[in-house]
């Protein structure tokens, strides 16, 4: 964890009445924060705009969430951008999202360079349009050497497909003799998920009030603390993020044991 206290204080100046940096314990910042960025369509519809305008507005919130995470010294930020089920949406909306992912990444790469952020993707990228895949690969290549925060974007991600893929990889290793059936344990599975090598999320934030996981990180969220806010994703800002961290710090994580930490 790296954190610049001066930058952190300046970033969280001008606090609203109900929350400030003083409300969180900087010694207990979650290591991995994960976001389900939901409610962008409703945000636009509430303004009489096309849903796509909400997706575009959501980019600003994600940029702010990345910066907030870096300032707080979060090790890993992950975010759900497109699910395996989102292909069911109208073709026009799907196309727009795929194009938005590509153009946004190109535009935001300087931020990753500036903040030493390493990029990673969760999901099956093979199914994405070439434009999007190429830009994602460029992002991976350009940030591979960075050792600050890891930013993992879930695109064409579905937890069930991810677990089925891990099972296939294990089956192949068992069939080839590389892995013994009795060695198929929790680590063997974790190591074959898209999140291999990342810590499980400590805090999951879902916007727009929906109380469900929508096929997101079902395995990895086993003991994650959840914070659901009614705020729609385009309205999510550093202060709402801080409210989530404050809620997280108020929880007693027991992992099935009896001692409250
Ligand atoms: C989440 O917002 C973003 C994506 C799934 C791409 P939605 O598009 O689901 O917005 P709502 O939930 O319909 O408001
Ligand atoms: C979850 O949101 C997926 C993303 C945020 C990318 P959805 O809007 O697709 O989820 P449901 O359909 O409300 O469960
Ligand atoms: Mg939604």
Q: Where are the domains of the chain?
A: 27-158+200-248
Q: Distance between CA atoms of 60 and 239, rounded to whole angstroms?
A: 14
Q: What is the pLDDT of residues 148-172, one digit of tens each?
A: 999 999 999 999 999 999 999 999 9
> What pLDDT, on the 0 to 100 scale, is given for residue 1?
72
Q: What is the pLDDT of residues 220-248, one digit of tens each?
A: 999 999 999 999 999 999 999 999 999 99
Ligand 1 within 6 A of 53 CB? no
CB 94 within 8 A of CB 126: no
> What pLDDT, on the 0 to 100 scale, is given for residue 2?
79
Would you say domain 27-158+200-248 falls under CATH 3.40.1180.10? yes
Q: Distance between CA atoms of 137 and 126, rounded to whole angstroms?
A: 11
Active site amino acids: 38, 86
Which residue, by CA, sits nearest to atom 2 of ligand 2?
Answer: 38
Kindly identify the ligand whose nearest atom is closest to the C-alpha of 206: 2
Ligand 1 within 6 A of 86 CB? yes
Q: What is the pLDDT of residues 11-41, one digit of tens each?
A: 999 999 999 999 999 999 999 999 999 999 9
Q: Which tokens sit at 218?
A: 């079902």
> What pLDDT, on the 0 to 100 scale, is given for residue 87?
98
Q: What is the pLDDT of residues 176-203, one digit of tens each?
A: 999 999 999 999 999 999 999 999 999 9
Q: Is 35 exposed, middle or buried (0-12, 13-18, 19+ CB in 10 A)?
A: buried
Which residue, by CA, sits nearest to atom 8 of ligand 1?
Answer: 41
Nearest atom within ligand 2 for CA of residue 157: 6
Q: What is the mean pLDDT of the chain?
A: 97
> What pLDDT, on the 0 to 100 scale, is given for residue 261?
53
What is the pLDDT confidence band of residue 260, given thresholds at 50, 70 and 90?
A: low
End-to-end CA distance of the chain: 21
- Residue 227 has φ and ψ, to the nearest 5°, of -130, 115
Q: What is the pLDDT of residues 107-126, one digit of tens each?
A: 999 999 999 999 999 999 99
Contacts of 161 (CB under 8 A, 6+ apart): 84, 124
**Taking Cα atoms as reference points, which of 243, 237, 248 lies closest to residue 66?**
237
Which residue, by CA, sits nearest to atom 12 of ligand 2?
Answer: 214
Q: How far is the CA of 213 from the centre of ligand 2 (A)?
A: 8
């Amino acid at each position: 964890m790296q954190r610049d206290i001066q930058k952190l204080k300046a970033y969280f100046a001008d606090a609203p009445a109900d929350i400030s940096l003083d409300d969180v314990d900087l010694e207990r910042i979650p290591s991995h924060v994960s976001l389900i960025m939901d409610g962008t369509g409703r945000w636009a519809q509430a303004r009489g705009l096309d849903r796509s305008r909400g997706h575009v507005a959501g980019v600003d919130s994600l940029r702010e969430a990345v910066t907030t995470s870096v300032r707080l010294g979060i090790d890993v930020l992950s975010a759900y951008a497109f699910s395996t089920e989102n292909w069911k949406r109208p073709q026009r909306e799907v196309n727009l999202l795929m194009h938005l992912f590509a153009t946004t990444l190109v535009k935001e790469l300087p931020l990753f360079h500036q903040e030493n952020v390493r990029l990673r993707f969760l999901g099956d990228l093979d199914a994405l349009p070439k434009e999007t895949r190429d830009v994602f690969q460029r992002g991976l290549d350009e940030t591979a050497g960075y050792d600050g925060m890891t930013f993992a974007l879930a695109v064409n991600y579905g937890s069930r497909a991810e677990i089925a893929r891990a099972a296939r990889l294990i089956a192949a290793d068992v069939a080839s003799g590389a892995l013994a059936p009795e060695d198929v344990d929790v680590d063997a599975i974790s190591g074959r998920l898209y999140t291999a090598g990342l810590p499980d999320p400590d805090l999951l934030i879902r916007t727009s009030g929906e109380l469900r996981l929508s096929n997101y990180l079902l395995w990895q969220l086993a003991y994650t603390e959840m914070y659901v806010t009614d705020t729609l994703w385009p309205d999510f800002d550093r202060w709402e993020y801080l409210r989530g961290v404050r809620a997280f710090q108020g929880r007693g994580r027991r992992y099935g044991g009896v001692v409250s930490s």
